[in-house]
Amino acid sequence: MLAFLLRRLLYAIPILIGVNLITFALFFVVNTPDDMARMQLGIKRVTPEAIAQWKAERGYDKPLFINGAAPGLATLTDTIFFEKSARLFVGDFGRAEDGRDIAREIGARMGPSLAIALPTFLLGLFVTISLALTLAFFRATAFDVWGVVLCVAAMSISGLFYIIGGQYLFAKVFRLVPISGYGDGLDAWRFLVLPVAIGVVAGIGASARWYRTIFLEEVSKDYVRTARAKGLNETVVFFRHILRNALIPILTGVVVVIPTLFMGSLLTESFFGIPGLGSYTIDAIQAQDFAVVRSMVFIGSVLYIVGLILTDISYTLVDPRIRFS
């Protein structure tokens, strides 16, 4: 087990280096720091001096990879690549355009993001699995057919509609919850109910249909026929045999998204004014704050890779047929 984990962790390193190189290429090679400076400064204030000053303030005035002018090891370390990209590995994200420390900002915003993402994830999983199980139980009846039709219709509606419509209806017309904002401590629940509910509803269509096919695949397997032949009633067959076995692909399939829950949801957070990482990312994108976007790309990739490793582990835990190979 330990050797397996170690190997997976080692495999993550070249992937992270690849991610780092891609983001570096996107942010510094496709566009020179001069272009970025022009973007940030706006057309009116562009002078060579202003650009030079902008670059110097942010440390973009160094060479990309090799600094011939610096002595010794500094030829490699006193460069943009080392300062801006390689430092990400040790959690040094630098500063945003407004001068704030990105790492501290991320730490502060993780809580609100999780407060939305985690309940949405758990509740959504429970609701969709229950719904899919019901559809599979009543398979090939009118209930199942219409259920699937509704699922297809639900997944054809834009996610924006769920958010805009839900916010309008429950916050503005019925005034059940505040339209947007966030509170400290337990007071936050008032702000969380609606986004979580909308998140769950918006996800039902696609997931329920997908889980239903997994259940149906399981229904047609041999062990189910054996269970029925033994004389077990349909309820026991469904809850003791089919549900348990179908949960394996469903749960191992969702493990990969668990770490990325930290990243928050872009749309929900920005619509409901929740100070999480999702709205932080959107603000950074709209303000064209390259340092923040770069940091979020890196963190997102790290979390995804953690998710992949967790997926591997969960497979080996639930399915003894898969050896640690």
Partner 1 sequence: MMGLQIVVLWSDLLVWLLLITGVAVGVLIARTPLLLAAWRRVGRSRAGMASATVLLVFLIVGLLDSLHYRPALPGAPGDKTQYSIEVLSLLDALAGPLRTENEKTYSAPLATRLYAKETVERPGVGTLREFPRLKFGGAHLGDNEAAANADIAGRAAGGAALGLLFWLALAAASAAAVGGWRKLVRGETVFAWNAVLLTLLVLCLTLGPLFALAGHYHVFGTDKVGQDVLYQILKSVRTALIIGLVTTLVMLPMAVLLGIVAGYFRGWIDDLIQYVYTVLNSIPGVLLIAAAVLMMQVVIDTHPQWFATAAERADLRLLALCFILGITSWTGLCRLLRGETLKLRELEYIQAAQAFGVSSGRIILRHILPNVMHIVIIALVMDFSGLVLAEAVLSYVGIGVDPTMTSFGTMINNARMELGREPVVWWSLIAAFVAMFVLVLAANLFADAVRDAFDPRAA
Integer angstrom CA distances of residue 104 from 107, 249, 295: 5, 37, 12
From residue 136, alpha-carbon distances to 124, 147, 189, 285 in Å are 18, 10, 34, 42
String marking each residue 115-144 x if it binds partner 1 according to CB under 8 A: ------------------------------
Is 19 a binding residue for partner 1 by CB under 8 A? The answer is: yes
Its sign, for the CA torsion 169, 171, 177, 183, is: positive
In whole angstroms, the minimum distance from the beta carbon of 242 to partner 1 comes to 19
The CA dihedral of 264, 265, 269, 275, to the nearest 10 degrees, is 20
Please give the structure tokens belonging to residue 295: 């940091």
Cβ atoms within 10 Å of 143's Cβ, excluding its own: 13
67 binds partner 1 (CB under 8 A): no
| Site membership for partner 1, residue 301 (CB under 8 A) | yes
Which residue in the block uniquely carries the two structure tokens 């958010």? 163
Decide whether 78 or 289 has the Cβ nearer to partner 1.
289
Q: Which of 4, 170, 210, 304 binds partner 1 (CB under 8 A)?
A: 304
Helix, strand, coil in percent for the chain, rounding step 5: 75, 0, 25
Give the other-Cβ count within 10 Å of 301's Cβ: 20
Shortest distance in whole angstroms from residue 256 CB to partner 1: 10
Smallest gap from residue 149 Cβ to partner 1 (A): 9
Q: Least CB distance from residue 239 to partner 1, whole Å?
A: 26
| Residue 75 vs 180, nearer CB to partner 1 | 180
CB of 21 to partner 1, least distance (A): 9
Binding part of the chain for partner 1, among 16-24, 190-198, 236-244, 315-323 by CB under 8 A, reads: 16-24
Q: Which residues pair with 95 in a beta bridge?
A: 101
263 touches partner 1 (CB under 8 A): yes
Q: Which residue stretch of 114-122, 154-162, 183-191, 195-203 sits at the interface with partner 1 (rule: CB under 8 A)?
A: 154-162
Q: What DSSP state is assigned to residue 261?
A: G
Side-chain half-sphere exposure of 36, counting CA atoms within 13 A? 23
Judged by CB under 8 A, the number of residues near partner 1 is 45
| 157 touches partner 1 by CB under 8 A | yes
Least separation in angstroms between CB 301 and partner 1: 4
Residues 6+ apart with CB under 8 A from 128: 203, 204, 207, 208, 211
Q: Which of 153, 236, 251, 322 binds partner 1 (CB under 8 A)?
A: 153
Q: Cα–Cα distance between 191 and 179 in angstroms, integer?
A: 8
Beta carbon of residue 34, minimum distance to partner 1 (angstroms, whole number): 9
**154, 204 Cβ separation under 8 angstroms:** yes
Q: By CB under 8 A, is residue 266 in contact with partner 1? A: yes
CA pair distance 34, 314, nearest whole angstrom:
47
Fill in the per-residue mask, 171 to 210: x = in contact with partner 1 (CB under 8 A), - = not in contact.
Answer: -x--------------------------------------
* Chain residues that interact with partner 1, rule: CB under 8 A: 14-15, 18-19, 22-23, 26-27, 30-31, 35-36, 38-39, 152-153, 155-161, 164, 168, 172, 260, 263, 266-267, 281-282, 285-286, 288, 290, 293-294, 296-297, 300-301, 304-305, 308
